[in-house]
Amino acid sequence: YKEVAFVGRSNVGKSSLLNTLVNNYKIAKVSSEPGKTRSVNFYLINDKFFMVDLPGYGFAKVPFKEQKRWRDLIEKYLKERDTLKGVFLLVDSKVGPTEKDKQMKDWLDFFGIPYVVVATKVDKLKSSEKQKLKRKVEEGLKDKNLEIIPFSSKTREGRVEVLKRIERLLEA
C-alpha cells in the first residue's frame, strides 16, 4: 500500500484533522505499540492506502533524550519508506510556524519528500489575519513557494482540498 503521513507539533490539531478527514470512511488501525504515545500509527483507509500518524513534536519540557528518540524514530521512518508518497506538515495558523516546524520542513526538503503545509485552526483567525496567513507561514518557514491549505476541523474548511491532495499524491 502507498501511504501519506501527517506530522506537526503537539496540540497542532492533528487528531482532530485525521478524524475530520476519515469521517465516514472504513478505517482499520493496523499497527501501534500499545501504551506508547510516541510511536508511528498506521491506519488503512478504505482498503486502499495508509494514513500515517507521526508523533507530535515540540514540547520544550520534553527531556533531551526523549527528543532524540523522536528524531531517530522520524528519521528512520522518512528514510526507509519507499511507499511514502507525501507528508502533510501541520502548522497552527494562530501560533504560526515554530523553529521545530522549520526543522521538520528542512528535513522533508533534505529527504526529497513531497509535502503540503496544512494551516490548522483557521476558524480562530480574523479575516484580516487570514489574508496574511500565507505570507506568515512562508516567512516562518523561510520559503516563498509553499503549498498551503487552510484547514479547520471546527468548520471542516479545507477537508475536501486535503482529500483531493491525498488522491493526487497517491497517483504520482
Q: Which stretch binds ligand GDP (CB under 6 A): 42-50, 75-83, 118-126, 132-140?
A: 118-126
Query: Which of 113, 123, 130, 143 contacts ligand GDP by CB under 6 A?
Result: 123
16 near ligand GDP, rule: CB under 6 A: yes
Which stretches of 9-164 are assigned E, i.e. beta strand?
A: 27-31, 41-45, 49-53, 84-92, 115-120, 148-150
Terminal CA-to-CA distance of the chain, rounded, Å?
14
Query: Which of 76, 154, 164, 168 contacts ligand GDP by CB under 6 A?
Result: 154
Query: Which of 89, 125, 153, 166 contacts ligand GDP by CB under 6 A?
Result: 153
Q: Which stretch binds ligand GDP (CB under 6 A): 43-51, 58-66, 150-158, 159-167?
A: 150-158
Query: Which of 88, 125, 152, 165 contacts ligand GDP by CB under 6 A?
Result: 152
Q: How far is the CB of 112 from ligand GDP (least distance, A)?
A: 26
Lookup result for grid cell 523561510: 142
| Pairwise CA distance, residues 31 & 123, whole Å | 33
**List of residues 6+ apart from 57 with CB closer than 8 A:** 7, 8, 9, 10, 67, 70, 74, 100, 104
Q: How far is the CB of 82 from ligand GDP (least distance, A)?
A: 27
Instruction: Count interface residues toward ligand GDP (CB under 6 A).
Output: 15
Could you say which residues in the range 53-112 bind ligand GDP, by CB under 6 A? 56
**List of residues 6+ apart from 45 with CB closer than 8 A:** 22, 25, 26, 27, 51
Nearest to 134 by CA among 91, 86, 98: 91
Question: What is the contact surface with ligand GDP in residues (CB under 6 A)?
Answer: 10-16, 56, 120-121, 123-124, 152-154
